[in-house]
Amino acid sequence: MASVSTSHLIIFVASLVVAAGVVGTLTTGVDRVSSAVQDGSLDVSQQVRTDVTIISDPGSSIVVENGDEEVDVTIHVRNTGSQTIPARESAIDMFLNGQFQGEEDFTIEVQGTTDNADVWRPDEVVEITITAEEADLDTDNRIFLTVNGDQEEFEFRS
């Protein structure tokens, strides 16, 4: 009889260990998925809130000669969303005539009175100046920029 109770005890302990293992795996998995969902929703909500608009007038002179066969292409972009964007070159992906412009190829500067020039708040305007070689510009040119998933296009003549 004693052997029966011992084997019952062993099976009881084993079933508890297995159940605890299942619960542990389950909660760890759910925890991981929960934090991924939270991160994902943060990204999605920021992308929905981000909206920028190029407000430059293509009829004015966009391209200014800089000497040394280089030109400055200046556009103004307004934050028309409700998301604050860092005013850094790394926050913007910029293409001029299909060529990617690296962080050293353009500058970004918040316009108007601002208490913090490092952030681009809603309704603020930034001036983006791309320094390009004259040979990179055709008669008709196109700027394509992406900020946090929001894409903008601007076409102008040089």
Partner 1 sequence: MGFSVSASTAIIVVGLFLAFGMFYPAMANSVDRVTDAHDDQADRMLSIQNTAIELENATKEDIGDEDGEWEVTVNVTNTGSTSIPLSRTDLLINNSYQDEPETMIQETEDTETDLWLPGETAEFTTTVDQEPDRVSVVVTQGIRVSGELETVEEEEQ
The least CB distance from residue 57 to partner 1, in Å, is 4
Which positions touch partner 1 (CB under 8 A)?
8, 11-12, 15-16, 18-20, 22-24, 26-27, 30-31, 33-35, 37-38, 40-42, 44-46, 48-49, 51, 53, 55-57, 59-62, 74, 76, 78, 80-82, 111-113, 123, 125, 127
- What is the spatial distance between Cα 7 and Cα 61, in angstroms, rounded to a whole number? 90
The least CB distance from residue 144 to partner 1, in Å, is 17
The least CB distance from residue 139 to partner 1, in Å, is 18
- What is the spatial distance between Cα 155 and Cα 123, in angstroms, rounded to a whole number? 23
Whether the CB-CB separation of 117 and 88 falls below 8 Å is answered with no
Token digits for 97?
Answer: 């005539």
- Closer to partner 1 by Cβ: residue 53 or 99: 53
Q: Tell me the CA distances in angstroms from 52 to 32, 73, 100, one per residue in order.
A: 34, 18, 19
